[in-house]
Structure 1
């Protein structure tokens, strides 16, 4: 009886597993397009400044440190260098002022189109703001910082 149940389940379960896996594989690109590239689900606020053409340096301390995330968002992982942000400490998905702290991360260069994609990914003006900050080596880079809300007025 045990072997009969295994035969029955293996064939039927395998078929279900193939259908579920196929569905997920097909839905994942649609989901990523909707979230990262589509005109749906994010409308930037009207008061955001226009993007300047040329190259921009971005400091990543969270999810953008992952080359896979950068590839999905920008279309390339880019070349990164280790960097640190003095006077800031990471707290969850945010950085907050702390004169004794230093946040480790990566810095990379993007063009205006890629910066716009990063802005969309970070939901600029809705969840994050993009501010220029000075890194340990004295260079400046854009940093995404959580917008201050009534619940988290901590920077």
Structure 2
């Protein structure tokens, strides 16, 4: 009986601990402070090209509160290298185009740790759409801010 009780507690506690960790690391204002040198986010709609974890609907829902209606798009002239993109003339990266508002972009910035791990830069996609994309900061720049 004691073993069954312990397993029951573990079955409840594990998902709660995971949910708490996800909230703390992705959504909580307590683990990320936007660096002062970053420009404020402009109001209005924003387009964001994503190619990693944010291509998964449950992650988008956790990060900014909805899955949206992303469109498949291609970024020409880059290749994916782990968690980043590297220029490569004949390569292409498939991803999704998200349409978000300023608050949602702020939540994406928090998730990507803008100014600490990533920078947000403008790119032109294969269909000539301009969009933001998150690129890893050079290792020394990231070390200097942490």
TM-score where L is the length of structure 2: 0.91
Aligned match of 1:7: none
Runs of 4 or more consecutive aligned structure 1 residues displaced over 3 Å after TM superposition? none
Pairs within 5 Å for 1:76-155 = 76-150=66-140
Highest CA radius of gyration, 1 or 2?
1
Q: Tell me what 1:3 maps to.
A: none
Q: Displacement of 1:132 after TM fit?
A: 0.6
Q: Deviation of residue 71 (structure 1)?
A: 0.3
- Cα deviations by residue, 1:16-55 (Å, 9 ceiling, x for unpaired): 1111111123323322222222221211211001000000
Number of aligned residues: 142
Q: Which residue in 2 is equivalent to 1:46?
A: 36
Q: Give the root-mean-square deviation of aligned CA atoms.
A: 1.6
Distance in 2 of aligned mates of 1:106 and 1:146: 18
Corresponding position: 1:28 with 2:18: yes
Shift of 1:149: 1.6
How big is the shift at 1:143? Answer: 0.3
- Where 1:99 maps in the other structure, the secondary structure is strand
- Which residue of the partner structure matches residue 65 of structure 1? 55
Scaled by the length of structure 1, the TM-score of the pair is: 0.86
State the secondary structure of the residue aligned to 1:104. Answer: strand
Structure 1: gaps spanning 5 or more residues = 1-10
